[in-house]
A and B are shown apart, each in its own frame.
Chain A
Amino acid sequence: MSSVLYDAQGPRAKQRNILYTVLFVLGAAAVVWWVYDGLAEKHQLDWIKWEPFFTSSQPWETYIWPGFQNMIKAAFFALIIALPLGALFGIGRLSDHRWVRMPAGFVVELFRAVPVLILMITANAVYAEYTTIDTDMRPLYAVVTGLVLYNFSVLAEIVRAGIETLPKGQAEAAKALGMRKSQIMLSVLLPQAVTAMLPAIVSQLVVIVKDTALGGAMMTFPELLASVRPMSANYGANTIACFTIVALIYIVVNFALTTFASRLERWLRRNKKSKGTAAGGAPETIGTPSLVVDDGRAV
């Protein structure tokens, strides 16, 4: 195994690598032992604490499955509502009219700067004060509203970036065909931009799924994370076991989404290449640059 950063390894380098590996394993083993010891001392590793998840379906049916459903429900509604809103504001920011462009930009920048939690708390208070949504449903409404308000602004930026990176010739050719501005946007630019940005949109879905957990911790929204407390209370304080199971579910769901996003990206890039539209000629770099630019937004 060699890379551009280091040469093919000779005997001495190989020996050194073995030494590093051994040191790393020893360090890791020390940490693992420390954690294991701590857990065992607190009886968190006793079979009785883990047994409910493996021998009966009760914890899955009463706690985990309803929580999972609520998580998916909130994420689904948030995406479905935020996507068209995002497209609208993304297009709005590119408008020829100042009085459309400026307010759209202001709204998008404002909601991108405010934490989701602040939006959720506000939405919850507003629903409690000014509407008659009953208290059972209010957390769901508040969580979805908070998620929509934040994510539509992010999606607006994604759509805008997608439209801006399209070749200029697309709009010009459409104009030459005599299309109106709305036609150019809706039937030429937007479909291409959304397709190109699909991986980024799927990655944003990961952010949405992760943020539903905020609702569980702060808004009494009965989703997956919120199921930990009643569950560990019911099965004899098996906090560690409950957290492990819940974290695993999050990892599986989000890992599937991330993998899907990167597959989609590779597929889109390959499709583009075979049509011969990629310009090429970019300088060769250490790794392949990604279409979904990892600009740190999806934190």
Chain B
Amino acid sequence: MFDFLEGYDLLGAFWVTVQLTVYSALGSLIWGTLLAGMKVSPVPLMRGFATAYVNVIRNIPLTVIIVFSSLGLNQTLTISLGADVIEDINFRLAVLALVAYTAAFVCEALRSGINTVPIGQAEAARALGLSFTQVLRLIILPQAFRAVVNPLSNVLIALTKNTTVASAIGVIEASYLMKDMIEAEAQLILIALVFAFGFVVLTLPTGLILGWVSKKVAVKR
């Protein structure tokens, strides 16, 4: 029944999807936290930059950003991010685009987490004489992160699904292979189900595990 899978590197394609997800998740967590920090910082220019960045990026389709990273950055500006082979270049460009895009959502999630921290926490910290970076790093962000595990897990799930867009610039991940297979093989519903199942396998545990974690670490108020 599943002999149509022969000759295709199904696991390899999903492995690329996983790699895209992991690298982009780490990158966007770092960049998104920095953006959130800027967004609440006392320096007006940084606040303005973070707000503008989030507003612009959130309103552009990810597809545009990814296609631009290939057509604009690579082919027009000849940026190759230190890779020589076209496959590597496209992979790195896709990660870069996914990080740039997802960070805006991480920033927003974190900011809504900062909003859940009671005012008294920040006031007490300031009364102890902590500086802004200390208040943010020691008091606010740890509580904010514990409050946003669930939203962040939703961002991660969305990111996993968004990696399929990388096929637009020729990264051979799951949806790229699926398009190939569907053109060559006859059992298209079965192929679709296999790939749908693959994504359920990737996203379901993420949601369940992080849902459990979020209950575990949530600040009881």
Contact = CB atoms under 8 A, between A and B. Distances in A.
Interface of A: 1-7, 9, 13, 17, 20-21, 24-25, 28, 38-39, 42, 44, 110, 113-118, 121-122, 125-126, 129, 206, 209-214, 216-218, 225, 228, 237, 239-240, 243, 246-247, 250-251, 253-255, 258, 283-290, 293-299
Given A4-B123, A39-B77, A283-B118, A25 B168 contact: no
B188 A122 contact: yes
Contacts of A228: 67, 71
A138 B136 CA distance: 52
B4 interface: no
Nearest to B71: A239
Given A114-B196, A121-B178, A121-B182, A284 B119 contact: yes
A177 to B, nearest CB: 37
A285 B117 contact: yes
Interface in B163-201: 164-165, 167-168, 174-175, 178-179, 182-183, 188-189, 192, 195-196, 199-200
Contacts of B175: 115, 117-118, 121
B49 A118 contact: no
Interface of B: 40, 42-46, 49, 55-56, 58-64, 66-68, 71-72, 75-79, 102, 105, 108-109, 111-112, 114-119, 122-123, 126, 131-132, 135-136, 140, 150-155, 157-159, 161-162, 164-165, 167-168, 174-175, 178-179, 182-183, 188-189, 192, 195-196, 199-200, 203-204, 221
Given A6-B126, A21-B43, A296-B154, A213 B64 contact: yes
A220 to B, nearest CB: 12
Contact of B161 (A2, A116, A253): A116
| Interface majority SS (helix, strand, loop, mixed), chain A | helix
Nearest to A232: B71
Contact of B43 (A20, A284, A293): A20
B61 A299 contact: no
A58 to B, nearest CB: 22
Given A115-B162, A284-B119, A213 B71 contact: no
Contact of B116 (A113, A250, A285, A298): A285
A115 B40 CA distance: 33
Given A17-B43, A217-B67, A225-B64, A115 B152 contact: no
A218 to B, nearest CB: 6
Which of B58, B61, B62 has the most chain A CB within a 10 Å cutoff?
A: B61
Given A126-B188, A243-B72, A294 B151 contact: yes
Given A21-B45, A216-B63, A299 B204 contact: no
A-B CB proximity, top 3 nearest: A299-B158, A287-B115, A254-B59
Contacts of A218: 167-168, 179
Given A21-B43, A285-B115, A118 B158 contact: no
Contacts of A254: 58-60
Contact of B63 (A24, A44, A214, A239): A214
Contacts of B109: 294-296
